[in-house]
Structures are given as C-alpha cells and as structure tokens.
Amino acid sequence: MRALVVEELKPDYAGVHIREQPTPQPGPGEVRVRVRAAAVNFPDLMQTRGEHQHKPTLPFVGGMELAGEVDALGEGVTGFEAGEAVVAGGRGGFAEYVLVPAASLRRKPAQLSYGQAAGYPVAYLTAYVALTCCAQAQAGEWVLVHGAAGGVGLAAVDYARHLGCRVIAASASDAKLATIAAEYPVDATVNVTGGFRERVKELTGGRGADVIYDPVGGDVFDESIRCIAFGGRILSIGFTSGRLPVLPVNIALIKGFSVMGVRAGEYGRQFPEKGRENQAAIWRLAEAGLVKPRVDREYPLSEWRQAFETLATRQVVGKTIIRPDL
C-alpha cells in the first residue's frame, strides 16, 4: 500500500515522502480500514517539523481523522462487517489502509460524505466542548468567532447557530466571509483587518460579545479583551497567529470576564464519562442533520503537498481532505 511517511523532521516537509509499505494485518481487537478520506489539520503540518506537543516516534504516518470502509477484522472483533462505512481517529489516515482498534470505530452517519465525516470529529468536538461545556453559551447571546473560515472556526459558527446564539463570524478575508454568510446565515460578519472592536461593540449595542471563540491568539486576542462584555467568556482554542498573547489581569478584573483554555481531547481524558457524553452528543447532531460540516477541497494522496499548503496559506473555508483511494 501507499502511505505518506514522515521520516525526518525538517522544514518545508522535506522529510515527508510517499512510500510503498506492506498492507498491515489486523491483530486481536483491531480492524483494517480502507481509507476513503483523511482530514488535514494544523497538527499534521506541525508534526512534520516536530513543532507540535505530541511528537510521534519516527518514522510515522500522519492523518489524525479518517473515514473509510471496514476491510478486514482481527481476532475477537464483532459488531462490524466488511464494507461498512466507518469513522476513526488517532493516526495513520494518510495511507491507503490503516489499523484501528475496534473499540474506537464509529459508523459513518449516512448524511455525511466520507470527506465530511473525516473532517467532523475534531472540529465539532472542539466547538461543543468550548461553547457548551466551558462557556455554557445560551440562546440569544452574542458569540464572536475568530478564524471563522478555518475548520474549528466554521464548526463553532455552525454549532453556535444551532444553539440559537447571535453569531458574528470574523476573518481577514471578505471573500471567505461572503462564503460563510451565504452557506451559514449568521447575524453579522466582521473583517478583522484594521481592527474590529468598535464594530463588535456597535453590533452588540455597546455591550460587547458575551462569548469570544479565539483559535488565533496574538493581536486578535489583544483586541478581543477590549470588546468582551462584562462577565463574558473568552475561549482560547489555539494560536494560529504564531504569537502567544499575554493577559493584563487588571482588565479582566475591571471587566469581570473569564479566559478559558479549551483542549477538547484533554477534557475527555480528564473527565472520561463526560468525554463519552460529548462524543455521543456531537454524533447525534450529525446523524440528525442539525449541523453541516464543509469540505472545501479534496486531493489525491499524490498531491499531499498542495493539500498541506491550503492550510499553511489559509486558502480554505472549512476542511481540506486527502483521498488515498484516488
């Protein structure tokens, strides 16, 4: 089989190559999945350089989210049949086949394509944990979503709309904002170029946003604390800007707001029962058709570099997918 292997940690993906490898054989409790789609996420890019907190042992195959078909069952596996459409996470999605523990498999909702299903779990779990578990966002509250065109940002836009919140989608691209507004009717859009706090205050009647969802950090965080409502909640999702902001705690004291760090996977590890509930909740949303994950582009495995670059250069609205089956 073909697989995209990270053999060395180097800039510009210089240590990443497509290699022929033996097709793996499932052991006890494992399922071999024929990969039909694998989502590209920022950690996949960072791991090729050794810049992510999780550092797999070299060599390794990236791809933390995937969807495909059951191809073979290991000893003792029941409840699945060859050909069933499934979704899985972990690592190894950038390959034609991958071994997955049967316990971690989930059947693909019929409403989702393979690409949508592959790009769904991380983004929507992050949005769910952030908005429901951490911020406890309520219908009618103003939610400002930064990086709204990215995978985790667009999921937050979509889920906040489902909650009945008043959503402000923020991005540095008018074209991306136009796409979001056309497909995910929001209450307002804001181009952050040149500043956004006065516009947010205007939209919210001078109060400011009740909840700010921030996967960007840097200057965006600095300005967000100037347009957060009294008693509001800022959700720190990540730092795609590349700069870790510093909070002047006197402003938090005066405005009475909270800053909450969100790591959806770690939340589930710390609170396993709640983690299972969260997973079940997001898949119920998908199965009921209450949310609509967006796939922007799909690439064959041979064009993996182009796929990576769509994230690195922020070209997409939603998710980029690699299709090893093409």
Q: Which secondary structure element, helix H or strand E, spans residue 274, and what is its range?
A: helix 272-287
Give the pair of three-digit tokens for residue 152.
């985790």
pLDDT for 90 equals 84
Whole-angstrom CA distances from 268 to 22, 111, 125, 262, 276 are 34, 26, 10, 11, 7
Tell me if the domain spanning 125-266 has CATH number 3.40.50.2300: no
pLDDT for 10 equals 96
Taking only the tens place, the pLDDT of each residue in 275-313 is: 999 999 999 999 999 999 999 999 999 999 999 999 999
Cis peptide before 22 (omega within 30 of 0): no
Q: How far apart are CA 274 and CA 24, in angstroms?
A: 33
- Cβ contact 2:38 at 8 Å: no
Closest alpha carbon to 211 in 163, 161, 143 = 143
Q: How far apart are CA 77 and CA 46, in angstroms?
A: 34
Amino acid at site 321: I
pLDDT for 91 equals 87
Name residues whose C-beta falls within 8 Å of residue 246's C-beta, 6 or more positions apart in sequence: none
Please check the confidence at residue 37 and state whether its pLDDT lies above 90.
yes
Please check the confidence at residue 88 and state whether its pLDDT lies above 90.
yes
Q: Could you tell me where in the chain the CATH 3.40.50.720 domains are found?
A: 125-266
Closest alpha carbon to 152 in 217, 209, 208 = 217
pLDDT for 245 equals 94
Please check the confidence at residue 240 and state whether its pLDDT lies above 90.
no
- Cβ contact 111:291 at 8 Å: no
H, E, C per residue of 154-202 = HHHHHHHHHHCCEEEEEECCHHHHHHHHHHCCCCEEEECCCCCHHHHHH
Q: How far apart are CA 226 and CA 133, in angstroms?
A: 24
pLDDT for 205 equals 97
- Cβ contact 184:154 at 8 Å: yes
**Cα dihedral angle (10, 12, 14, 16), rounded to 10 degrees?**
90
> If you average pLDDT over residues 216-238, what whole number do you get?
97
Q: Could you tell me where in the chain the CATH 3.90.180.10 domains are found?
A: 2-120+294-323
Q: To the nearest whole percent, how much of the chain has pLDDT over 70?
A: 100
Closest alpha carbon to 274 in 90, 159, 128 = 128
pLDDT for 242 equals 84
The chain-wide mean pLDDT, for the chain, equals 96
Sign of CA dihedral 115, 116, 119, 120: negative
Give the DSSP per-residue string, 93-120. Answer: -SBSEEEEEGGG-EEPPTTS-HHHHHTS
Q: What is the CATH number of domain 2-120+294-323?
A: 3.90.180.10
Taking only the tens place, the pLDDT of each residue in 199-217 is: 999 999 999 999 999 999 9
Taking only the tens place, the pLDDT of each residue in 91-121 is: 899 999 999 999 999 999 999 999 999 999 9
Please check the confidence at residue 53 and state whether its pLDDT lies above 90.
no
Out of 145-154, 169-178, 238-247, which region has the weakest mean confidence (pLDDT)? 238-247
Please check the confidence at residue 229 and state whether its pLDDT lies above 90.
yes
pLDDT for 54 equals 83
Give the pair of three-digit tokens for residue 104.
């971690």
